[in-house]
């Protein structure tokens, strides 16, 4: 089920910072997000709609300033958009359920992960649900 809401509805539900990142494709400053160095076991959900997107099993230390994952929970949980803003060629990652901006995915950077991908995701786009809270 895809969630469709107006900007007004999203503004009522999200903080100004959340709205800027999730709905306007903004980016939080590096090394400022709450999940950059988190090692807690659990699942990461979309902060806008609570869809489960990533797990701690795929989170790794990339030292890039944002939480990094080498794969989403399942490919149908995210969607990809070619992003040519800021003079760069990147692939934007969005929540497939509510179309909120999560971050970007990069390939071929040489990280020792099973997929050779780095999903560079804004902490403010996520909510961590610890495994012991499920």
Would you name the residues annotated as active-site residues?
120
What is the secondary structure of 93-130 as a DSSP string? Answer: EEETTT--EEEEEEE-S--SSSSSEEEEE-GGGEEEEE
Of 83, 82, 85, 103, the closest CA to residue 93 belongs to: 103
Token code pair at residue 122: 């804004």
Q: Virtual CA dihedral for 76, 3, 47, 86, nearest 10 degrees?
A: 80
Report the DSSP beta bridge partners of residue 44: 54, 128
Cross-sheet strand order for the sheet of 78-83: 59-60, 68-69, 117-121, 101-107, 90-95, 78-83
């Amino acid at each position: 089920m895809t969630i469709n809401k107006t900007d007004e509805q999203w503004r009522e539900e999200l903080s100004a910072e959340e709205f800027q990142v999730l709905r306007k494709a903004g980016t939080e400053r590096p090394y400022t997000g709450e999940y950059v160095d988190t090692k807690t076991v659990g699942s990461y959900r979309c902060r806008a709609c609570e869809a489960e997107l990533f797990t701690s099993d795929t989170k790794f230390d990339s030292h890039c300033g944002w939480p990094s994952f080498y794969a989403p929970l399942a490919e149908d949980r995210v969607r990809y958009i070619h992003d040519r803003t800021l003079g760069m060629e990147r692939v934007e990652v969005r929540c497939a359920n509510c179309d909120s901006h999560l971050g970007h995915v990069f390939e071929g950077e040489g990280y020792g992960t099973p997929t050779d991908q780095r999903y560079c995701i804004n902490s403010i786009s996520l909510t961590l649900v610890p495994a012991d809270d499920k």
